[in-house]
Amino acid sequence: MNSFTRRDALRYGAGAVVSGVAAPLLSSQSNPATPSRETSDEICFMRAVDMVTAIRAKKLSSREIMQAHLKQIHRVNEKVNAIVTLVPEDQLMAQAAAADEALAHGKWLGPLHGLPVGAKDLHETAGIRTTFGSPLHKDFIPDFDCRLVQREKAAGAIVVGKTNVPEFGLGSQTFNKVFGPTRNPYDLNKTCGGSTGGGATALACGMVPLADGSDMGGSLRNPPNFCNVVGLRPSPGRVPDIPTNLGWFTLSVPGPVARNVTDCAYFLSVLAGFDQQCPISIDQPGSQFAAPLDRNFKGVRVAMFRDLGLPWEPEVKNSVHAQRKVFESLGCTVIEAEPDFTDANECFLAWRHWATERSFGDQLATHGDQLNEYIHWHVEEGRKLNGPYLSRVEARRTALFQRLCGFKNEFDFFVLPVNQVLPFDVNTHYPTEIAGVKMENYIAWMKSAYYISVAGNPSAAVPCSFSSTGLPIGLQIVGKHHDDWGVLQLAYAFEQATQVGKRKPEIT
């Protein structure tokens, strides 16, 4: 949704305090005075939960943590182009000093006290440039924070800047005309995925300990999958999406990205929780996600995908199938089975067309030459839709959900790959063919991700292996309706058993 439409929807107030104006691109900024390289590296790859513990115990200051991350940003970011707007360093250090001063006076600011956080460039940030990856908004500086950022700041976090996205978040390859592409930290010639590509890359490179994101067709899962980090697509309504003009819309959800499952769950504890401005908000506290993730999985039934009737790059399919033994080692009963996803593709495309036409249809007449081909396609297709057709699409979607409920009565979790391909060339906008099968549009290669979006079940992307060429491969763990906690618990158990996520990119 464009920034002005979203701003109109936020009439209840401006929200959090302005945190800084837009800064120049990173290449034009000077290096800050920072701790030694060894100290910086150690800090930047600590778990976020350990950073918080160290701050509270006064073993690390927020200033030390901020200095270490600024040093890492200046050292690595120009290689990957993940953080595209950085808050001026003096403002960031002032906020870190204020967090330290508050603690010195016995005031704890919240679960993210003094931690740096990267905000997706689709999320409005008061006083910080928010471009949506579009030339139309390349100089836009909001005067308000979206709800996601409000909650981060209320928890004591410091927003360091904005992470790169595809234009308006469309497509799962992060590039745009404003900032260019974000590169995969494990191979700079490959894509990091999208649309939370900048956030996942910044995490993998140790430039931020936490990053927020959003997901319609796989954007909280594909970039973590390509960058060897963790992402969770929460249940719709778990994290309020405000501002919005489509309050009942369930395909698009905001959520957390982190380097490990513990941090991802901890971040969710801040972002989640009931909000009366969100009509689908789940009336449960977010604090439940800060609890220990340990669980006994003996006898838990896990369905391992077959092929979903989709084409796959062999290494992706084989790598995920090979994880069966890991789940069995956890005590799970693993059976090769998958739900019937009939109509999932049609349902997803219909509602994506509809939502995009709602957001950009009016702009096509006035700014059509500045909107990319994806928007043109969605708007044109959206205008062909009518009420009777959409009612039948929604009936098919309901039937799909009910089939999945029946499937989940037999199984507690469903495991499958996040995407059907490995990270591809950064100059390729999208794969046009997989295993000899032609892709019918720019997002067809993401069906393994967006089939899950249609049903609305929570799903986590977790590292599982590397390809023969050293590229990350992740898997999806899908849970029952509203069982975000169960998904995180199984993801944590899998992570602890494999330790694949600990492999850092060489460029760091």
497 CB-side CA count, 13 A:
19
Mean pLDDT, rounded, for 126-153: 98
- Asked whether residue 23 carries a pLDDT value surpassing 90, the answer given is no
- 382 close to 487: Cβ distance less than 8 angstroms: no
Does residue 25 have a pLDDT over 80?
Answer: no
The type of residue at 135 is P
Residue-by-residue DSSP string for 27-79: GGSPPPP---HHHHHHHHTS-HHHHHHHHHTTSS-HHHHHHHHHHHHHHHHHH
Phi and psi at residue 389, in whole multiples of 5°?
Answer: -65, -45
Distances (CA, A) of 11 to 50, 249, 377, 456: 38, 19, 31, 28
Q: How many CB atoms lie within 10 A of CB 389?
A: 11
Catalytic position from the list 3, 195, 269, 448:
195
The pLDDT value recorded for residue 41 is: 86
- Whole-number Å distance between alpha carbons of 234 and 453: 10
Res 424 pLDDT > 50: yes
219 is catalytic: yes
Residue 40 confidence class, pLDDT cut points 50, 70, 90: confident
Read off the tokens for 214. Answer: 């959003």
Question: Contact 215/255 with Cβ under 8 angstroms?
Answer: yes
**Separation CA 19–CA 118 (nearest Å):** 13
**Encoding tokens for residue 128?**
């910080």
Q: Is 59 a catalytic site residue?
A: no
Share of the chain above pLDDT 70, in %: 93
Nearest-5° angle of CA 420, CA 424, CA 428?
A: 115
pLDDT value, residue 205: 98
Residue 86 main-chain phi, psi, to 5 deg: -115, 130
pLDDT at position 3 is 36
Radius of gyration of the chain (CA): 21
Q: Work out the burial of residue 33: count CB atoms within 10 Å of its CB; fewer than 13 is exposed, 13-18 middle, 19 or more buried.
A: exposed
Position 494 scores a pLDDT of 99
- Asked if 452 contacts 478 with a C-beta cutoff of 8 angstroms, the reply is yes
Contact 249, 13 (CB under 8 A): no
Are 257 and 271 contacting, i.e. CB atoms less than 8 angstroms apart? no
Q: Is 40 a catalytic residue?
A: no
CB 457 within 8 A of CB 393: no
CB of 238 within 8 A of CB of 458? yes
- Tell me if 261 sits within 8 A of 460, measured CB to CB: yes
In 3D space, the residue among 120, 233, 203, 118 whose CA is nearest the CA of residue 166 turns out to be 120
Residue 27 has pLDDT above 50, yes or no: no
Q: What is the pTM of this model?
A: 0.93
Q: Which of 62, 214, 219, 465 is labelled catalytic?
A: 219
C-alpha span between 175 and 251 (Å, rounded) = 22
* In 177-293, alpha helices (H): 197-204, 222-227, 261-271
Above 70 in pLDDT, residue 217?
yes
The pLDDT confidence band at residue 19, using thresholds 50, 70 and 90, is: very low
Residue 57: is its pLDDT beyond 60? yes
Question: Does 383 score more than 60 pLDDT?
Answer: yes
Q: pLDDT per residue over 335-352, tens digit each? A: 999 999 999 999 999 999
Q: Which residue has the tokens 């504890």?
A: 269
A 10 A CB-CB count for 252 gives 20
Residue 201 confidence (pLDDT) above 90? yes
Q: Among candidates 94, 88, 82, 89, which has minimal Cα distance to 119?
A: 82
Residues in the chain, overall count: 508
- Paired sense of beta strands 413-417 and 83-86, if any: unpaired
Q: Are 60 and 40 in contact (CB under 8 A)?
A: no
d(CA 403, CA 389): 21
DSSP-based three-state secondary structure for 285:
coil
CA-based nearest residue to 162, from 134, 188, 127, 123: 123
The answer to whether the CB of 132 falls within 8 A of the CB of 360 is no
Q: How far apart are CA 52 and CA 133, in angstroms?
A: 32
* Number of C-beta neighbours around residue 334 at 10 A: 20
Three-class DSSP category at 457? coil
Residues 273-310: pLDDT tens digits? 999 999 999 999 999 999 999 999 999 999 999 999 99
Question: What is the pLDDT at residue 39?
Answer: 80
Identify the pLDDT of residue 98: 98
What is the per-residue pLDDT for 35? 47
Look at 36 and 370; give whichever has higher pLDDT: 370
Question: Which of the following is catalytic: 19, 61, 120, 190?
Answer: 120
Q: Going from the N-terminus, what domains does the chain have, and what CATH number goes with each?
A: 30-337+411-501 (3.90.1300.10)
